[in-house]
Chain A
Amino acid sequence: MSETTFMGVPRDKIDWSPRIDYAKCNYCMDCVKFCPHQVYEVRETEERKLIVKNPVNCVVFCRACSKTCGLDALSFPEKNDTIVKIKTIRKEMEGA
């Protein structure tokens, strides 16, 4: 199940999830095995055997899956940008 809000902001308004560098990924699936939130999906029959299926399930500011990746094929948005965005949305919500 996804978290519905993070710091009071609807989770789907926060852009935080892994980006897969397909030029580096060797489909070892260590990230899939690691992540308990079903962020990834394995697609054995497709060329890209791994996709980010549920980005909003990803815990905001968690980058733990990228630390299992020996090939450095996973990246995340800049934390500071995300914080600024969260603060902006919170302000907008307060004003609404």
Chain B
Amino acid sequence: MSKNKQYVVLPCNGMDKAAGCVTRELALALTEQSGSEIICPVLFHVSDARYKKLAGDHPLLVIDGCPTRCASKLAVEKGLKVANKLTVTEEAKTNGIEIGKSLRLDDEGLRLVKTLTAALLRVDDVGESRQLAVKTIPADVEYEIYQKDKFIFRLPKSGFFFNENDCWVCVNGDTARVGVTDYLQQSASDVSFFNPPALGAKIEQFGTLGDIETSKALVEVVSPVTGKVVAINEALKNAPELINQDPYEKGWLAELKLTDFEKDKELLQDFAGYFPILKRKVDEFHVK
């Protein structure tokens, strides 16, 4: 049997909300059960010295209580590489647990801590399923460019389809690779983390295919197709900046086994349809 995973844990430790209190309990449970180490967000905020080295010793786990995402913002501010993260309020919803308002955790709050601890400490069975990525991107992608002032927006001329939420899909047989457009990544700015969908998850067209966290915002990836997630771009774990640097090729997000692409296509644009939309968006967004 493999031993538990170890982390360096950065909880928000928000003491005025129940969800913040859950982050503290979760950090303690991880420490007790796996020898993970805790970063105190308050001390870290005023002093780098104590924790900077520690953050490099094990994968960094950021635990936010609520969508204000104080711990995530602190990690970005301090330039830390985030290996894993979660938001307690979202996990509570996913697990059907009501954490209430009491700052002393009740049975439900403790149940959530137990559930999340077990999930976080489980050593991933990093099998072939994560590496099923098939070569769906054409070998030589040719791009059209739209330039506005110093900003240059690239768009593949063929082989890709787009939704109006600025996500792309490139299809090969019954499998498709998806990602975000150059326009979306530039609007969102520097990506600090990609929170991927679960492998095996069934996603509807326009459903959520994970979140991209940037220094400015949390951007929901709106899936261009319906299908089952069969691969995640593992390279983004260590290099989320690939989404900024190469959004159509190395910065792809996930691969899906398609359900009915012909049906999905009805609500997608090809290059000719999307390029004018891109231009309009750039003109409206960048010219105030």
Contacts and interface: CB of A to CB of B under 8 A. Distances in A.
Interface of A: 1, 3, 6-7, 30, 34, 36, 59-64, 66-72, 79-80, 83, 86-87
Contact of A1 (B206, B267, B284): B284
Contacts of A36: 285
B217 A64 contact: yes
Q: What size tier do the contact residues of chain B reach?
A: 20 to 34
A69 B280 CA distance: 29
Contacts, number: 53
A67 B221 CA distance: 13
A70 B66 contact: yes
B207 interface: yes
B217 A68 contact: yes
Nearest to A63: B220
Tell which of B89, B211, B222 has the most Cβ of chain A within 10 Å. Answer: B222
Given A30-B68, A60-B165, A70-B66, 4 more contacts: A60-B164, A68-B68, A68-B217, A83-B205
Nearest to B64: A70
A83 B68 contact: no
A67 B284 contact: no
A59 B165 contact: yes
A78 to B, nearest CB: 11
A62 B220 contact: yes
B206 A83 contact: yes
Closest 8 CB pairs between A and B?
A70-B68, A70-B66, A67-B218, A1-B284, A61-B222, A67-B67, A61-B165, A64-B217
